[in-house]
Amino acid sequence: MLLHKNTDDFSDLIRIVSEYLGLDPTIVEKDYWITHALYHLSKSEYIEKVVFKGGTSLTKCYEDLHRFSEDIDIALLANGMSGSQIKKTIQNVEEIMSFELSPSEFENERKSGDYRYTQFTYKSMFAGDLRELHPNIRFELTSFMHPHPFEKREVGTFIELYLNQNNMQDVIDEFELGKFELNVLTIERTVVEKLASLIRMSYEVDLKEIQTKTRHLYDLYMTYHLVIEFYEDNYALSEMVAIVKEAEAESRFKDMYPIEHLWQTAPLFSILNDSRIEIAYRERFGAEFVYGDLPDFDGVKKVMLEIQKALVRCNA
């Protein structure tokens, strides 16, 4: 990826794509640098030792989701590695992804042998005032989860999307903006992990955290038609819920909510009628990070009720 080395063309294309997608220029710019980090990972010796996961993997690998996601979650395939090998590999992966970025220290930074949560910054060409956009790129690298199943998926930038849709392959080639492949956690496990996150947050009394994570509701809505057969397969869904529950029980979230309870009974499915959730979805998330039409919240609630019915059918 070479576009950033030509600042005039970089700036011009960001503005063009910003207008084309209806996104703030700072988002298009940050998307480029996030993809730049993943691009260098894809060209490294560690390409078969890591799995790209989380919301950014959904938005990068499935064009049905028309939103921006700003964190990079990477899981290490650590089978057979010693503790020192895991630590060194995680450090090396972070170093590769942070090429041409600058470290940015912050209060919640964590660096241990099997986990790193760090932030990096880049020199922005645009002055942004978006309330929800974080100024840095956050890396989360783990080795203690088992990132299965995964598959190969293509990753690209908003800029490449625009150039491809407007038949500008010559520009893609000139600046090496073509898509590239990564190991990516399957969409089925990713949506169940998002469901787990929403369920966990729904047990909080003040509902403050879930108001900052309404993107999970958007993702579950936008992916529902892609994985409807999965939701209808009682065995597959119950197995995936069990896998994610086991991962939750081994995580830092294990004491934050009653993991042993059936998901179908979680407060999540009733608190969606709380106006604070809809307002946060529409005004905090939808106003800044979505391009195209934001799905109506009533439609989102209907899909969530269908997911609850699926949980009832498989007794999860």
- Report how far residue 289's alpha carbon sits from residue 183's, in angstroms, rounded to the nearest whole number: 25
- Report how far residue 18's alpha carbon sits from residue 179's, in angstroms, rounded to the nearest whole number: 19
* φ, ψ at 252 (rounded to 5°): -70, -10
- Report how far residue 94's alpha carbon sits from residue 103's, in angstroms, rounded to the nearest whole number: 11
Partners of 53 in the β-ladder: 73
CB 55 within 8 A of CB 215: yes
Q: Using CB atoms within 10 A of its CB, is residue 299 exposed (0-12), middle (13-18) or buried (19+)?
A: exposed
User: Tell me, what's the pLDDT at 225?
Assistant: 96
- Report how far residue 167's alpha carbon sits from residue 89's, in angstroms, rounded to the nearest whole number: 39
Look up residue 136 and give its two tokens: 């840095």
User: Tell me, what's the pLDDT at 14?
Assistant: 97
CB 108 within 8 A of CB 86: no
Angstrom distances, CA of residue 277 to CA of 10, 207, 218, 274, 285: 37, 8, 12, 6, 11
Per-residue pLDDT tens digits of the chain, which is 316 residues long: 999 999 999 999 999 999 999 999 999 999 999 999 999 999 999 999 999 999 999 999 998 899 999 899 999 998 889 999 999 999 999 999 999 999 987 767 788 888 999 999 999 999 877 777 888 999 999 988 889 999 999 999 999 999 999 999 999 999 999 999 999 999 999 999 999 999 999 999 899 999 999 999 999 999 999 999 999 999 999 999 999 999 888 877 777 788 889 999 999 999 999 999 999 999 988 888 898 899 999 999 999 999 999 999 999 9
Look up residue 92 and give its two tokens: 């090396």
- Report how far residue 312's alpha carbon sits from residue 269's, in angstroms, rounded to the nearest whole number: 12
Q: Which of these, 32, 31, 75, 33, lies nearest to 52 by C-alpha position?
A: 75
Q: Which of these, 170, 180, 133, lies nearest to 9 by C-alpha position?
A: 170
- Report how far residue 245's alpha carbon sits from residue 238's, in angstroms, rounded to the nearest whole number: 10
CB 72 within 8 A of CB 139: yes
User: Tell me, what's the pLDDT at 48?
Assistant: 96
DSSP three-state, residue 307: helix
Q: Give the distance, in angstroms, between the CA of residue 270 and the centroid of all CA atoms in the same chain.
A: 25
Q: What is the CA radius of gyration of the chain?
A: 20
